[in-house]
Structure 1
């Protein structure tokens, strides 16, 4: 049975608008987006940025920036961090709006720039709201080892300087392009992705066309009618040679980016011949084999209401054959794969639950029932191979962020699973061999 979450996990932040998209802006900054739409309900639309850290016992978050987008709700976005600044491409109705996210180093001093201000970083449930003009102060540093997952060390001058420095961000609107051209209804961009090499952007929406753009210029390089119904999700392969798309027409198709032609379809025999629709798709690398990768999807029964079985699936990237699948007791709503390809997470539609699986075997290793009060709209693993900075030190093996239309940002971590040290296993083997030899000698064998 998979373990449930630790008491220190759970709520990181609460936003005053429904959340639809989440990603890591840097190795320790969370970006979430959503809103209430264009109706005059008083519910805002926009982005929130939080700084994430681990205090030695649990994860905490502090609000860094809030950026409102007027009447335009943000339903999906993609982030590309170039080091000097980040590019944020957000789906707003039928358009893709690019933003420049400029990092700015802030010194942890008061308004007179003379002495550091002290800020209490301990908060119940890890929630920490930061008032305007407030800066971080001195804190004891933790390296994530020792009792309770942390050990204290002497704070050096370099540590003090680092504590007084904090990244702030300035978001500026840049180019905007129309990405969906549905003529028989309301056009809507459903998904946007940026390739791993940062050279391409892909969009999909209600008109069923898959469009590929040069990035960051956002000039269309190719477009084709990939599906006859709206596209729900797309993802670039790690080598940037292929792109997978799924749609409400029930098809999952892998496309060759160099030709725009179909490479293969994702095909499987659904249980009892029932009709299933793909909901989300993600590529994941194979551990220790970075040139190899696999596709993960979640799929739900069509036209079913209530707690129906959904599936988490793993596919062979060479031929589109199903390699493994595991059923879940209800329909699924969100999917994430960690950047090293080791873990997969899913969120559910009705109970708001989150689960983490080992990617290779699809064995569930963590289950968080009722993580949210409504369906999970987005998941994102904390990175461990992020190029924009070192990962956050903690006593966990994996941690995943979750968001929902219940306005909550939560985190769920998998504790380090205990394994027998190699030297102890060897010693045990030697002792067993010795005992067997003694027994054999005693009985004259």
Structure 2
């Protein structure tokens, strides 16, 4: 089935393979990855890149590039954008494969000239299969741009028109590959890869329970820690790149000091009724207006089905390692994301495929999308609001989060701007109240 697109909140795109990882390649480009594995099922493995825009009423996405990875399913990846090009580090079984993602500017005239009347694929030297919107099965809506006739009739200048007629395209080229997991009792598998905020380190974890720290982008092993007795499920670097947190199926959550390679503290909490819980995902988030401070968020699920136990979204103090706040959720959780400014947190559920958004400091839920997916939510990613990889998308929403699942869908969920009283109305209200109080006091002789 070819990818499709619907211009509305909810379904953005449908890919013809299960999705396991999502991130923003730039402030406007979504990168998703997954696949059907090495079995001969006919299900592809690889990446899809979509350009995202807001047309004034809703978000839309247009396919930019598709890159297939042969028999290697992509279960996890990390992206580092250096401006001139991006580094994409993808987990493929026991290895981490690096790709160079090279941006290039393509005019609409070039794109139209390259297209053929029949829906054919255009091969590139590096094996990338790139298709125009007319060939991909994606609905041919203008990618946030008006056509020439509309622009000219509206008085748009030639310089503005030239800018609107150019689009950003990408080429993917395979680079270095390293083995990152060495489990001997079964098939080794990299479960997670992360790149530090300063762009100097990469961390990997997998089925052998070892936390490995690598230099980046020249990938060389720096530290190898026997962090856990079972497979590592998730990792995340602290915003200052001084610590890293690891969580595992051994029920341990540990924060490590990267300078010494020693434990900083363990994440410990009083579980409900003494039941056993396993951490599932972990993410750091900065504190608004205090970029040197940050919070740690985790999700935890009960081990097994015992009574009415529920999953938890948790917030931890990064100085003491103490649990600061936790909110119960009516089912087990599968995914977690924190917005780049640390203001919002999102979780995806395991059974109902629902997505919820919370205010980070209070863990108050502000958005709930039940059954966003037909299966468990494998990944979440907020749209960025910072300007590191280009200007963020302008929209009428306060926050928006992407979600993916093994149901092959890429969806987006928006939190509308919460209404506030205009300043002038508040002033008028205060004046009226003062006048009423003055009249009342005069009436009773005070």
TM-score greater than 0.5 by the shorter chain: yes
Matches within 5 A, 1:37-436: 37-109=37-109, 129-131=133-135, 139-140=145-146, 155-304=156-305, 308-436=309-437
Task: Give the Cα–Cα distance (whole angstroms) in 1 for the partners of residues 377 and 110 of structure 2.
Answer: 40
Task: Give the Cα–Cα distance (whole angstroms) in 2 for the partners of residues 307 and 187 of structure 1.
Answer: 35
Call closer, same or farther: CA 1:153–1:339 in 2, change over 3 Å: farther
Ranked by relative contact order (alpha carbons within 8 Å, sequence separation 6 or more), the top structure is 1
Q: Following TM superposition, by how much is the alpha carbon of 1:139 offset from its aligned partner in structure 2, in angstroms? A: 3.3
Task: Give the Cα–Cα distance (whole angstroms) in 2 for the partners of residues 438 and 12 of structure 1.
Answer: 58
Structure 2 unaligned blocks of 5 or more: 1-6, 115-131, 148-152
SS at match of 1:162: helix
Task: Give the Cα–Cα distance (whole angstroms) in 1 for the partners of residues 47 and 306 of structure 2.
Answer: 32
Task: Give the Cα–Cα distance (whole angstroms) in 1 for the partners of residues 27 and 260 of structure 2.
Answer: 35
Task: Give the Cα–Cα distance (whole angstroms) in 1 for the partners of residues 288 and 408 of structure 2.
Answer: 34
Match of 2:33 in 1: 33
**Deviations, residues 234-286 of structure 1 (Å, cap 9, x unaligned):** 00011111111111111111111100111111111111111110000000000
The TM-score, its normalising length taken from structure 1, stands at: 0.89
SS at match of 1:356: strand
Q: Following TM superposition, by how much is the alpha carbon of 1:434 offset from its aligned partner in structure 2, in angstroms? A: 2.5
**Deviations, residues 156-181 of structure 1 (Å, cap 9, x unaligned):** 33331122111111101000001111
- The answer (yes or no) to whether the contact 1:8–1:58 under 8 Å persists in 2 is yes
Task: Give the Cα–Cα distance (whole angstroms) in 2 for the partners of residues 414 and 162 of structure 1.
Answer: 30
The TM-score, its normalising length taken from structure 2, stands at: 0.89
Task: Give the Cα–Cα distance (whole angstroms) in 2 for the partners of residues 81 and 394 of structure 1.
Answer: 23
SS at match of 1:131: helix
Structure 1 unaligned blocks of 5 or more: 1-6, 115-127, 142-151
- The answer (yes or no) to whether the contact 1:137–1:163 under 8 Å persists in 2 is no
SS at match of 2:135: coil
Call closer, same or farther: CA 1:369–1:216 in 2, change over 3 Å: same
Call closer, same or farther: CA 1:336–1:30 in 2, change over 3 Å: same
Match of 1:146 in 2: none
- The answer (yes or no) to whether the contact 1:307–1:331 under 8 Å persists in 2 is no
Q: Following TM superposition, by how much is the alpha carbon of 1:194 offset from its aligned partner in structure 2, in angstroms? A: 0.3
Q: Following TM superposition, by how much is the alpha carbon of 1:186 offset from its aligned partner in structure 2, in angstroms? A: 1.3
- The answer (yes or no) to whether the contact 2:53–2:143 under 8 Å persists in 1 is no
- The answer (yes or no) to whether the contact 1:109–1:135 under 8 Å persists in 2 is no
Q: Following TM superposition, by how much is the alpha carbon of 1:423 offset from its aligned partner in structure 2, in angstroms? A: 3.4
Match of 1:144 in 2: none
Task: Give the Cα–Cα distance (whole angstroms) in 2 for the partners of residues 24 and 137 of structure 1.
Answer: 18
Q: Following TM superposition, by how much is the alpha carbon of 1:303 offset from its aligned partner in structure 2, in angstroms? A: 1.3
Q: Following TM superposition, by how much is the alpha carbon of 1:441 offset from its aligned partner in structure 2, in angstroms? A: 1.9
Q: Following TM superposition, by how much is the alpha carbon of 1:140 offset from its aligned partner in structure 2, in angstroms? A: 3.9
**Deviations, residues 102-135 of structure 1 (Å, cap 9, x unaligned):** 1111011157869xxxxxxxxxxxxx94427x99
- The answer (yes or no) to whether the contact 1:366–1:414 under 8 Å persists in 2 is yes
SS at match of 2:399: strand
SS at match of 1:438: helix
Call closer, same or farther: CA 1:113–1:65 in 2, change over 3 Å: closer
**Deviations, residues 23-51 of structure 1 (Å, cap 9, x unaligned):** 00011010000000000000000000011
Call closer, same or farther: CA 1:167–1:71 in 2, change over 3 Å: same
The answer as to 2:17 corresponding to 1:17 is yes
Q: Following TM superposition, by how much is the alpha carbon of 1:431 offset from its aligned partner in structure 2, in angstroms? A: 2.2
Task: Give the Cα–Cα distance (whole angstroms) in 2 for the partners of residues 159 and 75 of structure 1.
Answer: 41
**Deviations, residues 399-425 of structure 1 (Å, cap 9, x unaligned):** 000000000000010111101123322
**Deviations, residues 199-242 of structure 1 (Å, cap 9, x unaligned):** 10000111111111100011011111111111100000111111
